[in-house]
Chain A
Amino acid sequence: MKKIYSRPQSLYDVVTHYCPGCGHGIVHKLVAQVVDELQIREKVIAVAPVGCAVLAYDYWNFDCTEAAHGRALAVATGIKRMRPETVVFTYQGDGDLAAIGTNETIHTANRGENLTTIFINNAVYGMTGGQMAPTTLLGQKTTTTPHGRKEQEGRPLKISELLAQLEGVYYVERVSLHTPQQVINAQKAIKQAFQNQIEEKGFSLVEILSPCPTYWNCSAQEAMDWIAEFMVKEFPLGRIK
């Protein structure tokens, strides 16, 4: 029988620690698939964030490092500048990339570093127990916005649109995981973002709307529906730059 689908070589055959219905696992697989397709497993270096995905290196079968919370792009800058022949990417949550690490995000993008960033927007802080993130929707309940987020607590931060303003940025696209078709689109965008780096085009970022059923207090299916109904209205999908 002909084998038409299998686990990517870049993904270890291990049990996941992510919650049922979490988007991180899906994106880990998409990244692994892209790395395989582009045949870059032996020259890719991942920078894991502080967030639920800090353990990404338990799943990816290639070189990885941790970075302090919010500093992934500074670490990636150090690696890529010293080893321009490698393919370096960061994988960051919304707290990591758009709150504590906003400064590194903006300045790395503004320098036009030839890097790829996978940005997981799940509208909460997962690892620390479901607090408000910069991307939390207005009215959304979290452990630190028990009555729903109000304007005074900040409006959902559209960091991707912000970054698209910068000349150093080559590519920004927002995708989602809420249907199989969206997942296919997400994989295409991730592949494009890696391809850009290989072709030395400059800074590329893919924002991925990703479910966190645990801290959205809902089932996996309800989480997907919530993305379709509410998140994509606040964070429109498609190519931003």
Chain B
Amino acid sequence: MKSNNKENCFRKVLMTGNDAIAEGALRAGCRFYAGYPITPQNELTSYMAIHMPEYQGVFIQAESELAAINMVFGASAAGFRAMTSSSSPGISLKQEGISYLAGCELPAVIVNIMRGGPGLGNIAPAQSDYFQATKGGGHGDYHSIVFAPSSVQEAYNLMFAAFYLADKFRTPVMILGDGMLGQMMEPVVLHSAPLEFSENIDKPWALTGCKDRNPNVIRSLYLKEGALEALNERLQKRYQMIEKTQQRFEEDFVNDAQVIVVSYGAMARIVKSVVKKLRQRKLKVGYIRPITLWPFPVKAFNRKKTTVKYLVVEMSYGQMVEDVCLSVPDKKKVYFLGRAGGAIPDTGQITRKIYKLLR
């Protein structure tokens, strides 16, 4: 793989989430990017246009999201780390391509900087694509690994995990952010790949021309009886392995908590600030922040105390809440607060809801 000594320098810089994702991708070895403009992720595409040449990689502004995801398919089939990014309506267009990546067992990273929907919606932050991201999205029985960063630094860090796990499990990986994360600026320490994600993964399946070996074929069409079921069984086995080994979450103040607030992404920052304030008032409140949305961190909900109430806060009308219900022993203990269409549950609303549940 083409490399660049820029990858090895440490720096602390001020960056938007969109820029940090692009920089992280490049340092994680992404050497192909194709995208089609859509707000609020345009900075990411521009960043790639400017900086991809420094890594001797390829940047293409595609004629559509369909073309972009399929160019990524090609670059990945050729054995390279490849990525595309978009926002909600564009991600809808990419779904067929993501399903093909899953079916052909090709690694790729897809970034969705979510905006309000349905339809053209607006360009305000939202979390309304949770179902699409975590339940497959396209056709067929498949999953993408889904990461939900909540800070610019974390967005940068997760790119190393994203490309590594995509290669390791030969699967699409999605970074699910929102307009808030994409647009906000924060200091980021630019580091190189952490040891656990720096192992080089062989790709004997890649298309390189069949010199000194039998031809490689990349396909998702299996017509012979039982062949497609065999592919599906292979994928499901892989998904079980991912569910077992890749659940990630952050939690705090949960041990004695009577109410645990669950939220992800940029939303979780607001939730955290509320929880910390209420802790100062000696209220027994904690939080769980899923970092992987698929696999959903079921482990985080495994506790003996059955009186705990969960409050799920989302910038949607209730999507992740369904996974929380599936993860707790008694779904009657799960409560929900959500707004969407560009509206964000505010600190006052969250605080009032928590007080109500503590009563």
A contact residues vs B (CB 8 Å cutoff): 41-45, 47, 54-55, 57, 60-68, 70-71, 74-83, 85-87, 103-104, 106-107
Check B73 against A78 for contact (C-beta < 8 Å). yes
Known contacts A65-B217, A77-B71, A78-B78; decide if A104 and B63 are in contact (CB<8 Å): yes
CA distance A61 to B215 in the complex (A): 6
Q: Which residue of A lies closest to B34 (CB)?
A: A78
List the B side residues contacting A64 at CB < 8 Å: 207, 215-218
CA distance A65 to B79 in the complex (A): 12
In whole Å, how far is A216's beta carbon from the nearest beta carbon of chain B?
25
Q: How far is the CB of A178 from chain B (nearest CB, A)?
A: 30
Q: When the two chains form their complex, are residues A81 and B67 in contact, meaning their CB atoms are under 8 A apart?
A: no
Asked whether A57 lies within 8 Å of B75 as measured between CB atoms, the reply is no
- Given A77-B71, A86-B208, A107-B67, A63-B215 contact (CB < 8 Å): yes
Assembly CA distance A44 to B207 (angstroms): 9
CB atoms of B82 and A43 under 8 A apart: no
B250 nearest CB across to chain A (Å):
36
List residues 33-70 of chain B with CB under 8 A from any CB of chain A.
34, 58, 60, 62-64, 66-68, 70
Interchain nearest-CB distance for B66 vs A (Å): 6
A76's contact among B63, B74, B82, B215, by CB below 8 Å, is which?
Answer: B74
Task: Give the residue name and chain of the B residue nearest to A81 (CB).
Answer: B58
With A and B bound together, what is the CA distance between A153 and B297 in angstroms?
53
Q: Name the 6 nearest CB pairs between A and B, nearest first.
A: A78-B74, A74-B70, A43-B209, A71-B70, A78-B75, A65-B218
Which residue of chain B has its CB nearest to the CB of A110?
B63
B185-224 interface (Cβ within 8 A of A): 207-212, 215-221
- B210 adjacent to A63 (CB under 8 Å): yes
Q: Is B70 within 8 A of A67, CB to CB?
A: yes
Residue from the list B63, B72, B221 in contact with A54, Cβ < 8 A = B221
Interface-lining segment among B96-104, B231-239, B299-307, B346-354 = B96-104
Q: Are A57 and B217 within 8 A (Cβ)? A: yes
Q: How far is the CB of A24 from chain B (nearest CB, A)?
A: 16
A61-B215, A65-B218, A82-B78 known; A74 and B71 CB under 8 Å?
yes
B296 contacts the other chain (CB 8 A): no
Query: Are A75's CB and B209's CB within 8 A?
Result: no
> Does chain A have a CB within 8 A of B76?
yes
Residue of B whose beta carbon sits closest to that of A56: B217
List of A residues within 8 angstroms of B115 by Cβ = none
Is B31 close to A, CB under 8 A? yes
Task: Answer yes or no: B77 CB below 8 A from chain A CBs.
Answer: yes
Partner of B77 from A44, A68, A75, A104 at Cβ < 8 Å? A75
Where the two chains meet, the residues of B that have a C-beta atom closer than 8 Å to any C-beta of A are 31-32, 34, 58, 60, 62-64, 66-68, 70-80, 82, 96-97, 100, 104, 207-212, 215-221
Alpha-carbon distance A85/B209, docked complex (angstroms): 9
A68 with B60, Cβ < 8 A, contacts A54-B221, A77-B71, A82-B31 known: no
Count chain B CB atoms within 10 A of each CB in A61, A87, A104 and give the residue with the most.
Answer: A104
CB within 8 A of A103: which of B32, B63, B73, B217? Answer: B63
Q: Which residue of B lies closest to A50 (CB)?
A: B221
Residue of B nearest to A87 (CB): B209
Given contacts A42-B210, A63-B208, A65-B219, contact A82 B70 (CB under 8 A): no
Q: Is the CB of A86 within 8 A of B60?
A: no
Q: A75-B77, A82-B78 are in contact. List 13 more A-B contacts (CB 8 A).
A: A57-B215, A61-B215, A62-B209, A63-B216, A64-B215, A65-B77, A65-B207, A74-B62, A77-B74, A78-B34, A78-B77, A81-B58, A104-B70
Contact assessment for B221 and A79 in the assembled complex, using a CB-CB cutoff below 8 Å: no
B6: min CB distance to chain A, Å: 20
- CB pair B209–A86 under 8 Å, yes or no, is yes
Q: How far is the CB of A43 from chain B (nearest CB, A)?
A: 4
Determine how close the nearest CB of chain A comes to the CB of B106; give it in whole angstroms.
Answer: 9
**In the complex, which residues of chain A have a beta carbon less than 8 angstroms from the beta carbon of B67?**
71, 74, 77, 103-104, 107
Contact A63 B207 (CB under 8 A): yes
Q: What residues on A are CB-neighbors of B75 within 8 Å?
A: 78-79, 81-82
A83 contact set on B, CB distance < 8 A: 78, 207-209
Q: Which of A71, A74, A76 has the most CB of B within 10 A?
A: A74
Inside 8 A of A106's CB, which chain B residues have their CB?
63
Residues of the A chain whose Cβ atoms lie less than 8 Å from the Cβ of B64: 103
B53 to chain A, nearest CB (A): 13
Give Cα A67–Cα B100 distance, bound, in whole angstroms: 8
**CB-nearest residue of chain A to B211:** A42
| Contact present for A82 and B58 (CB under 8 Å) | yes
Bound CA–CA A87/B277 (angstroms): 62
The distance from the CB of B350 to the nearest CB of chain A, in whole angstroms, is 43
* Contact A66–B97 (Cβ < 8 Å): no
Q: Which residues of A lie under 8 Å from residue B80 when comparing CB positions? A: 82
Residue of B97, B100, B212, B217 with most chain A CB atoms under a 10 A cut-off: B217
Q: How far is the CB of A50 from chain B (nearest CB, A)?
A: 8
B-side contacts of A71, CB under 8 Å: 66-67, 70, 73, 97
Contact of B70 with A41 in the complex, beta carbons under 8 Å? no
Q: Nearest-CB distance from A138 to chain B (Å)? A: 30
